[in-house]
């Protein structure tokens, strides 16, 4: 008999089903940490089962959102650290529905790769489950696809879908925004999950840096700085008294310039005082190193503001106190045409 059994034809073509099955064999232990009594069945089925309990909601409305991590994954691959991008994915998606006033119910992930690497898979799963557990969101399933010929080398893609719920009468959609309202900002923690194609081009191609570089004004190595985890703002927002938030914008791709208008009435502008907070040092390095115009910086990067909240002026002091450290007033609402004006 041969010393080892010959590999299967599909594995020789690049898709190792047996490896995938072995890795998924212990999934239920990890997913169980995010499950409450609402989750039915077991991991590995054709679909995840979630028995929703809408007690206390007069008219529950389901809210869904899907997103990815983008080219931040290139940094994860280069540094061999993948748990943080798993957290990024969950937190990004949860924030996207939090702006509507929704709380997360369950999450589904997608991992696509040319070659399934057990260590990478385990790190991603650890990050996903950690963030889901912290968010009170059940990770009920996902898809791991081996796609040789589409993904090259160690590259992979990571995407996810969140489903949440909000009472219809408590949906935050910007309709109550009025001239005179205050705009508050919740501090970002790094670049989050947007602008990485430009950031990598500036830092690594134009400036010739590498991830191990230590730059003046940064407490971490450049690689560690770029992999800082995208925070989940939903718990802080949910702790505000009902009716406080008139509008909320998650500052992702498009920055303040493109995201705040999504919650502005056509008759209002958001006037943002860019001197009201300190621009993160990394953003300064990117602007200087890439000679990027100020307006474009505020359209590509979050510039230190991860979430923008609109409240009535009379509610601003209490909201600032409730939201706590890392919250600052960044502007006001004035009559206009649904745009952002930087001053």
Residue in the block written with tokens 């969140």? 162
Residue-wise pLDDT for 309-334, tens only, equals 999 999 999 999 999 999 999 999 99
Residue 167's nearest CA partner among 93, 88, 101 is: 101
For residue 1, is pLDDT > 50?
A: no
For residue 3, is pLDDT > 60?
A: no
Domain edges within the chain: 9-170, 182-342
For residue 106, is pLDDT > 80?
A: yes
Residue-wise pLDDT for 276-309, tens only, equals 999 999 999 999 999 999 999 999 999 999 999 9
d(CA 284, CA 302): 12
- What is the percent of the chain with per-residue pLDDT over 70, rounded to a whole number? 96
pTM listed for this prediction? 0.92
Q: Which two tokens stand for residue 211?
A: 């991830």
Q: What fold characterizes domain 182-342?
A: Phosphoribosyl-aminoimidazole Synthetase; Chain A, domain 2 (3.90.650)
DSSP secondary structure letters along 206-274: IS---TT---TT-SS-HHHHHTPPPP--HHHHHTSPTT-EEEEEE--TTHHHHHGGGGS-TTEEEEE-T
Strand partners, 132: none
Backbone CA torsion sign across 117, 193, 128, 226? positive
- Beta-carbon-side half-sphere exposure of residue 236 (alpha carbons within 13 Å): 21
Residue-wise pLDDT for 151-184, tens only, equals 988 999 999 999 999 999 999 999 999 999 999 9
CATH architecture of the domain with range 9-170: 2-Layer Sandwich (3.30)
The answer to whether 172 touches 246, Cβ cutoff 8 Å, is yes
Residue-wise pLDDT for 213-257, tens only, equals 999 999 999 999 999 999 999 999 999 999 999 999 999 999 999
Q: 39-43, 55-59, 65-69: which range is least confident on average?
A: 39-43
Counting every residue written for the chain, the total comes to: 343
Of residues 41 and 284, the one with the higher pLDDT is: 284
Confidence of residue 44 (pLDDT cuts 50, 70, 90): low
Residue 147's nearest CA partner among 156, 135, 137, 134 is: 156
Q: What is the largest CA-CA distance in the chain?
A: 82
């Amino acid at each position: 008999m041969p010393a080892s059994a010959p590999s299967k034809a599909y594995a020789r073509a690049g898709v190792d089903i047996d490896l995938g099955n072995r890795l998924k064999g212990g999934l239920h232990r990890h997913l169980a940490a995010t499950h409450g009594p609402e989750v039915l069945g077991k991991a590995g089925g054709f679909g995840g089962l979630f028995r929703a309990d809408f007690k206390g909601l007069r008219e529950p409305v389901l809210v869904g959102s899907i997103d990815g991590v983008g080219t931040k994954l290139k940094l994860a691959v280069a540094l061999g650290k993948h748990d943080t991008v798993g957290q990024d994915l969950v937190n990004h998606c949860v924030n996207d529905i939090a702006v509507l006033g929704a709380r997360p119910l369950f999450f589904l992930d997608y991992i696509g790769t040319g070659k399934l690497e057990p260590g990478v898979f385990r790190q991603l799963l650890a990050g996903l489950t950690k963030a889901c557990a912290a968010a009170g969101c059940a990770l009920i399933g996902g898809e791991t696809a081996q796609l040789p010929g589409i993904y090259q080398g160690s590259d992979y893609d990571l995407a996810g879908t969140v489903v949440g719920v909000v009472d219809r009468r408590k949906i935050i959609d910007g309709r109550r925004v009025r001239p005179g309202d205050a705009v508050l900002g919740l501090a970002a923690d790094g670049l989050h999950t947007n602008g990485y194609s430009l950031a990598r081009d500036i830092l690594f191609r134009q400036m010739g840096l590498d991830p191990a570089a230590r730059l003046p004004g940064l407490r971490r190595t450049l690689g560690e700085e770029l992999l800082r985890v995208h925070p989940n703002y939903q718990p802080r927002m949910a702790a505000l008294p009902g009716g406080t938030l008139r509008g909320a914008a998650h500052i992702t791709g498009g920055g303040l310039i493109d995201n705040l208008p999504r919650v502005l009435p056509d008759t209002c502008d958001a006037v943002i005082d860019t001197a009201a907070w300190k621009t993160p040092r990394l953003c300064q390095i990117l602007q200087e190193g890439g000679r990027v115009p100020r307006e474009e910086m505020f359209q590509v990067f979050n510039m230190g503001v991860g979430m923008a909240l609109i409240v009535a002026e009379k509610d601003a002091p209490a909201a600032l106190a409730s939201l706590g450290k890392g919250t600052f007033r960044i502007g006001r609402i004035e009559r206009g045409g649904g745009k952002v004006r930087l001053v």
